[in-house]
A and B are shown apart, each in its own frame.
Chain A
């Protein structure tokens, strides 16, 4: 099935470092979502972006909706051990289209934080 291009696939960083990951798509999305998934759990929503160019923060997390509506990035500042997990981007197409309501996910970025 279709997936977004998410990079990097994995990151190994030291506690306190900043992290950046991004997603690109060949299709336009009206909504970009960033989720975190811990082992054995479902994805938990971190940040939702609804407008091209939008920059939104949630604590140490900052995400942006690309101007072209085909990309988004997530930054985590001053990483801590509990940031460990898998981060997914997801896009939702415009309303009225045949795929509205369907989220398309990236393949995930595995984040490891060394104390």
Chain B
């Protein structure tokens, strides 16, 4: 049973560019959350998707947007990249009150 799958694993982008990160949830999970983890910090909640709609959002600017597809997979889009957007981006999936399962993340470096 595959867990949460994220792609790509690593990415280097230039300031001002746009990036799309992808996540496939664990089988049976219908809710996807995205987190940003800066070096040496705990993950910070970006937003959560359920039934193809954004259900919750953290304190992130509108440059961060997302989408959930009918098969429950999800994308995180970041526009106008800043150096400070460099981080590990984690996707977590869940179903009901089950604990969240995290993927291995996408390491984004903005230069």
Contact = CB atoms under 8 A, between A and B. Distances in A.
Contact of B43 (A40, A41, A45, A105): A105
Interface string B55-74: 11011000000000000000
Interface of B: 4, 31, 33, 35, 40-45, 48, 50, 55-56, 58-59, 90, 92, 97, 99-105, 107
Interface of A: 1, 3-4, 6, 31, 33, 35, 40-45, 48, 50, 88, 90, 99-108
Contacts of B100: 33, 45, 103
B31 A43 contact: no
B42 A106 contact: yes
Contacts of A1: 44-45, 58-59
Nearest to A110: B40
B102 A102 contact: no
A58 B43 CA distance: 23
A103 B105 CA distance: 17
Given A3-B44, A88-B42, 15 more contacts: A1-B44, A6-B42, A33-B100, A41-B105, A42-B105, A43-B43, A44-B102, A45-B101, A101-B56, A102-B56, A103-B100, A107-B40, A107-B41, A107-B42, A108-B40
